[in-house]
Amino acid sequence: MSGLRPVVLSGPSGAGKSTLMKRLMKEHEGVFGFSVSHTTRNPRPGEEDGKDYHFTTREAMEEGISQGEFIENAEFSGNMYGTSKAAVEDVLARNLICILDVDIQGVRRIKETDLNPIYISIQPPSMDILEKRLRDRQTETEESLLKRLEAARIDMEHSKEPGVFDVVIINDDLERAYEELKDILNEEIQKVQEAK
């Protein structure tokens, strides 16, 4: 089956991308496949290598990039992140809708490729709420939290530019945001389910 459009989920760290995506994948088994990115950041408790990320070193990642193995890569909050060609090809080969979770730099780079995804920005209701969610998540040091909030300000500005995103979802109430996300993806989800 061809013609399944990938989905790019972007938006500030702490906006709720992983929460929404995990729910979407759980409720639609055999429909979506996650493009597992590479990163040089340390794994958080509960994160699995090869599932959440390919955890790697800066040297190994730079080597891969110079070998042309990456579709895009970016520096975020002091670490490298990148989407390998293999990560996306693995999902497409399984005839699944490929979900990519990338920052705004990744969005711009992906626009230069022929992937033709649906671009969705997940935004928090406000900076204060974003900060509270990030603090409550308890995954960041004070330093990385402040870097994420700074990056969030830039992200929130860019996401308002016309033509960058197909849709912007404000993740205030989780249920409502999730319903909105499902509605947007309904057409693609139907395509996979009809082909089964």
Ligand X SMILES: Nc1nc2c(ncn2[C@@H]2O[C@H](COP(=O)(O)OP(=O)(O)O)[C@@H](O)[C@H]2O)c(=O)[nH]1
Which residues have a catalytic role annotated? 44, 137, 148
- Burial of 18 from C-beta contacts in 10 A (0-12 / 13-18 / 19+): middle
Q: Could you say which of ligand X, ligand ADP, none residue 74 binds, taking C-beta under 5 to 8 angstroms by partner kind? A: ligand X
Q: Which residues are near ligand ADP by CB under 6 A? A: 13-19, 133, 136-137, 171, 174, 177
Does residue number 40 form part of the binding site for ligand X (CB under 6 A)?
A: no
As given in the structure block, the two tokens for residue 132 are: 């509270």
- Residue 105, SS3? helix
User: Between β-strands 79-84 and 70-76, what pairing exists: parallel, antiparallel or unpaired?
Assistant: antiparallel
Does residue number 188 form part of the binding site for ligand X (CB under 6 A)?
A: no
Q: Which of 8, 13, 56, 171 forms a contact with ligand X (CB under 6 A)?
A: 13
- Measured in degrees and rounded to the nearest 5, phi and psi for residue 159 equal -70, -15
Q: Could you say which of ligand ADP, ligand X, none residue 82 binds, taking C-beta under 5 to 8 angstroms by partner kind? A: ligand X
Q: Which is nearer to ligand X, 51 or 196 (CB)?
A: 51
Q: How far apart are CA 137 and CA 140, in angstroms?
A: 8
Cβ of residue 153: shortest distance to ligand ADP, in angstroms? 15
**Residue 114 DSSP one-character state:** S
Q: Could you say which of ligand ADP, ligand X, none residue 105 binds, taking C-beta under 5 to 8 angstroms by partner kind? A: ligand X
Q: Which residues contact residue 151 at a Cβ distance below 8 angstroms, ignoring those fewer than 6 apart? A: 12, 13, 76, 77, 103
Q: Which is nearer to ligand X, 41 or 158 (CB)?
A: 41
